[in-house]
Chain A
Amino acid sequence: MSTLSRTASELFWMTRYLERAEAMARLVEMGRRMAMLPSDRETAADEWRSVIAASGCAPHFEGRAVDERAAVLGLITDRENPSSIVSCFDRARQNARSVRTALTTQSWETLNEAWLKLGDLTEERVLRELPQTLDWVKGRCAQFRGAADATMLRDDRYDFGRLGIFIERADMTLRLLDVKHFVLLPETEVVGGGRDRHQWTSVLMATSALRAYHWAYRGDYSPWRIADFLILNHSCPRSLAYCYDEIIGVLDRLARAYGARHPCHHTATETVAMLADIDIGEIFHDGLHEFLIGAVARNNRLAYEIGAAYHF
């Protein structure tokens, strides 16, 4: 079993871009909720700036005035922003088109149809129908994952696509936590503070995890528990721990199929072991921010090592 290196690379990036498009939609959703709170204009702009920082699109917005309109359009429709939702779809579709033979008809058609509909996302319409637009984006991404899940052969190609999803998702969760880490720090906790409470729920909203969190923690919003949920809880599908469970599963399967282990296997195993050993108290004790930037760096290294191991 083996596949063209270029195919592996295109599949890896295709799913990454789709995951990113979905994450962008969630981030804008979070920003929109924050903006609905009564506040002065500067606070509202700050919220959008933190959304932009979490999205990794800060360079695109450099030197521009940020308000809701600029942030929403920049993150959704602006093709000059390489990580905007529209750009992500463009690139995912480009990747998919280069490796059409590696995709099932249903997966391809799902993605292609979504891409064909991008033309309908005019600025005016996005601003007017923002919630519907965001739902549409999330829906298309889910539909693609579903089509791939239901129809694709479980071979190495599928595995490279899976790796793209979880590398990107882990990255997004970590960056989102980092941007909001100051709200999660105990010293900023104002007992009963409505705004902070809203901040925490928004973080959970951005990960589509609010209801899941209620089930797991019975509605007890404490910063520790939110961080625990998004970093260490194996049953939260957007947590770092869950992403790495998936990553290590895929990498082990590849190692068995190819009969070889590589540095990427070592790095992923190390991260999984570290997550098993540590508890949330230690993370806060050693510094949440330091933990998060360390994990982002390790995640990036892993992505690089995967490419090196499989020649792409």
Chain B
Amino acid sequence: MFDEMRGADGTRPPYREIERWLDALGPEALALKRDEAETLFRRIGITFAVYGEGGDPERLIPFDLIPRVFSATEWRTLSRGIVQRAKALNAFLHDVYHRGEILKAGIVPEDLVYRNSAFLPEMMGVDPPGRVYSHIVGIDIVRTGPHDFMVLEDNCRTPSGVSYMLENREIMMRMFPDLFARERVEPVDGYASMLRATLEEVAPRACRQDPVCVVLTPGPLNSAYYEHSFLADQMGVELVEARDLFVDRGLVWMKTTEGPKRVDVIYRRIDDDFIDPLVFRPESVLGVAGLMNAYRAGGVTIVGAPGAGVADDKAVYCYVPDMIRFYLGETPILKNVPTWKCGDPGDRAHVLDNLGEVVVKEVHGSGGYGMLIGPRSTEAEREIFRRKIEADPGAFIAQPTLALSTVPTMTADGAAAPRHVDFRPFALVGREIRLTPGGLTRVALREGSLVVNSSQGGGVKDTWVLADR
């Protein structure tokens, strides 16, 4: 098991300052600081709702004070790999909604695309500005050794969590200014202006003046509402709900105190299904009637494009390295986690024989729900998954149980103990690809646990990228 602070030959260089800081502070002071941080989060209102459970509807994601650190060299490799992947995913999306070359070449099976519920026939032949479909690509990366980074999954729709990246840093800088004075940490606060620049770059052709951009939220009851309002605020654009928008003469308008006002770019934080009741779900109250038509006619840009989810499904994921070779002619910089597709008879047999060792995931699942972690499962749970897989093999994939890297994390009494982490950086795709040096580190707070999702008891950490010396 690889610990990012304590390597085989003592403390690894990027963590030396952190170690000194932990030793100087001691567990008691650290525990007090944690309470202070929690008060700050509550006061600012950084909360996250977990569905389907009673209790506090606005709960905090546990924030761990000990940062996760990447060296400048590590970040260089990561960032090249992330940008490469974001490019290939967008090329793939443009391809499947146009000529489907990669399917015709027999590299990606047609069924995986055309029979995918995230594939939207309505998007065939549509040309989004800049050929960008997924404008914000969140790539989940895990680490198993000093030089071993692997992509666990891609998020091409509207990945969330970036507000935590920004607020975690804010809180850390507020609470430990001296730490930042001693260590050269790359800033992350350029994210909002980069996002705004990205949105403006993909304004529709019909837009002649300064593009009017908005963030579209389902409303205050949504679990990520804090992030929606935070991003709108940081970008200086309106945060709208569907009822604030309407479509007229092929254009989108928002209702303002001075009457209707044109909207050019909608950064939507609602799912495809809820964009337009005329096209998708007639019973939806979240959508804007006529939005898809306005979009197809080039009257407005929807960020990310409807149908972008077809690229981030866990079965399509297996082919991303092939996409990189096919569209970019490059060697993939970041590896995939080896994956068995249960739809394939050979792979399926292997998975069913080894249920106790592998991690089984639903192809369309997310948020850590509907997952089997073999080594920690009971006989009964394995039996349930065996039956599920046999009933609908194409809906499942499996991966080896990875020894995710650990980072020191505060336990209840303030002591630091290794806990497993993953990492989600956010690539912004407009006319160019922009990447903030950092991202969201999620940590499984329970000892030995591998599940980092906030809905399943995971926490977050500030993520540092050190500047070159």
Contact = CB atoms under 8 A, between A and B. Distances in A.
A169 B356 CA distance: 68
A297 B461 CA distance: 56
Interface of A: 1-8, 94, 97-101, 105, 108-109, 112-113, 116, 156, 160, 258, 310-312
Contact of A6 (B43, B233, B255, B261): B255
Contacts of A112: 43-45
B420 to A, nearest CB: 32
B220 interface: yes
B52 interface: no
B422 interface: no
Interface stretch (B15-23, B118-126, B239-247, B346-354): B239-247
B209 interface: no
Nearest to A6: B244
A89 B289 CA distance: 35
Contacts of B243: 6
A6 B241 contact: yes
Given A4-B254, A5-B256, A5-B257, A101 B239 contact: yes
Nearest to A101: B233
Contacts of B256: 2-5, 311
Interface of B: 42-45, 219-220, 225, 229, 232-233, 238-241, 243-244, 254-259, 261
B238 A101 contact: yes
A11 B45 CA distance: 18
Given A100-B233, A101-B232, A156-B257, A4 B45 contact: no
Nearest to A1: B258
Given A98-B219, A101-B238, A112-B43, A8 B257 contact: yes
Given A4-B244, A6-B241, A99-B239, 8 more contacts: A3-B257, A4-B255, A97-B220, A98-B219, A101-B232, A105-B44, A109-B44, A311-B255
Nearest to B215: A101
B220 to A, nearest CB: 5
A28 B225 CA distance: 36
Contacts of A101: 229, 232-233, 238-239
Contacts of A160: 257
- Residue among B45, B220, B232, B239 having the largest count of chain A Cβ atoms under 10 Å: B45
B231 to A, nearest CB: 9
A94 B219 CA distance: 11
A310 B257 contact: yes
Contacts of B258: 1-2, 258
A230 to B, nearest CB: 32
- Residue among B233, B241, B261 having the largest count of chain A Cβ atoms under 10 Å: B233
Contacts of A94: 220
15 contacts: A3-B238, A3-B257, A4-B240, A5-B257, A8-B257, A94-B220, A97-B229, A98-B219, A100-B239, A109-B43, A109-B44, A156-B257, A311-B255, A311-B259, A312-B257
Given A2-B257, A100-B233, A311-B256, A116 B42 contact: yes
A183 B233 CA distance: 51
Nearest to A309: B257
A5 B238 CA distance: 11
B43 A100 contact: no
B257 A258 contact: yes
Given A101-B238, A108-B45, A5 B255 contact: yes
Contacts of A109: 43-45
Nearest to A105: B44
Contact of B257 (A108, A116, A311): A311
Nearest to B261: A2
B219 A116 contact: no
Contacts of A2: 256-259, 261
Contacts of A310: 257
Nearest to B217: A98
B233 A116 contact: no
Nearest to B214: A4
B41 to A, nearest CB: 11
Nearest to B226: A100
A116 B43 contact: yes
A18 B254 CA distance: 28
Contacts of A8: 257
A97 B240 contact: no
Given A4-B244, A105-B44, A109-B43, A98 B220 contact: yes
A94 B258 CA distance: 24
B244 A113 contact: no
Contacts of B239: 99-101
A98 B243 CA distance: 13
Q: What 3 A-B pairs have minimum CB-CB distances, sorted nearest first? A: A2-B258, A310-B257, A100-B229
Nearest to A97: B220
A30 to B, nearest CB: 33
